[in-house]
Amino acid sequence: MSFILKKTKSDYIVDFFIYSSLTLFGLATLFPLYYVFIMSITPIVEVLRNGGFVVWPGEMTLEAYKYIFESDRIPNALKVTITVTVIGTFLNLFVTMFLAYPLSKKFLPGRNIVLAGIVFTMLFSGGLIPLYLVVRATGLLNTIWALIIPGLVSSFNMLIMKTYFENLPGEIEEAAKVDGCSDVQTLFRIVLPLSMPIIATLGLFYGVTHWNAYFGGIMYLTDRTLMPIQVVLRNMIVTPSVSTELGVNVAELQQLPPETIKMATVVVAIIPILLVYPFLQKYFVKGMLLGSIKG
């Protein structure tokens, strides 16, 4: 015998307020992104007519995107950022995986000491000056590796992956070893195919971190050709003259307000992440939940 619960009038009222609140919150979250895009395609006449604030322009133009891609700075910065993101994320996952897998085995000698040392680094750090001195001493200054090597492993992400490995059924690995697989073969043939949710999740974490990173570029790089997109965008925001950063003719930029060019650069900087996230979303929640069951 089944019972069907009917909603009362008060239930509908509560649902109305909940959905209304969520809708308003969603619009408030999306509006800054919408405003940035609208400003990037708005002609200067329209901007001046509306006092610098445009919600929906009467005319649209792609001149701002034309200018930033005609300069060498933005395409080169995008190439550097994509290179750092792809190589850095691969190395992050590779090193994190090879550190987390052995530490997920409780029979590993010295396991607790190593874990204590890793947790210690989450609470205390050497500071920026010692980090800079280490990067300089290893010859990484003014190289693309200065944006990758210093943050090669995240202790937090490593602990999440270790917990995920611990939650995998031990019988599967035992069966693989009975069939003659070594530890490395078991990892690549058995464990990794079962760990795609956590790999995708941490890959997204590492990838977004590399894409949005600018502090390392400011600290370790003086060669402008090696600066990632976020450093170029920051320089455009703090520099009064956009033409100085882009290296284009000042007279040409008089057709567009500096804010429009900055907004177009912001759009170019965030579109790749927006395109990648939907493909990893189905793994994201599952990976985080399964990677946080046990401590």
Q: What is the pLDDT of residues 120-166, one digit of tens each?
A: 888 887 788 888 898 899 888 888 999 999 888 888 888 888 888 88
Is residue 53 domain-resident? no
Query: How many other C-beta atoms are found inside a 10 Å radius of the C-beta of residue 142?
Result: 13
Question: Mean pLDDT over residues 248-257, rounded?
Answer: 54
Chain centre distance of CA 180: 39
Inform me whether the pLDDT recorded for 279 exceeds 60.
yes
Structural domain including 74 reads: 66-290
- The answer to whether residue 271 is domain-embedded is yes
pLDDT reported for residue 50: 67
Q: Is the pLDDT of residue 12 over 90?
A: no
Nearest to 93 by CA among 197, 185, 199, 184: 199
Handedness of CA 92, 96, 282, 193 (dihedral sign): positive
In total, the chain counts a number of residues equal to 295
Q: Is residue 272 part of a domain?
A: yes
Each residue of 79-110: pLDDT tens digit? 999 999 999 999 999 999 989 888 888 888 88
- pLDDT for residue 39: 80
CA distance 62 to 67: 9
Tell me the per-residue pLDDT of 254-275, one tens digit each, with 9 for 90 and over.
Answer: 556 677 777 888 888 888 888 8
- Residue 195 maps to a domain: yes
Residue 27 falls within a domain, yes or no? no
Write down the pLDDT at residue 95.
Answer: 92
| 42 is a domain residue | no
pLDDT for the residue numbered 250: 47
Instruction: Tell me the pLDDT band of 21, cut-offs 50, 70 and 90.
Output: very high
| 39 belongs to a structural domain | no
- Structural domain total, the chain: 1
Indicate which CATH number applies to the domain containing 152: 1.10.3720.10
Mean pLDDT value across residues 18-29: 90
Higher pLDDT, 96 or 193: 96
For residue 25, tell me if it sits in a domain.
no
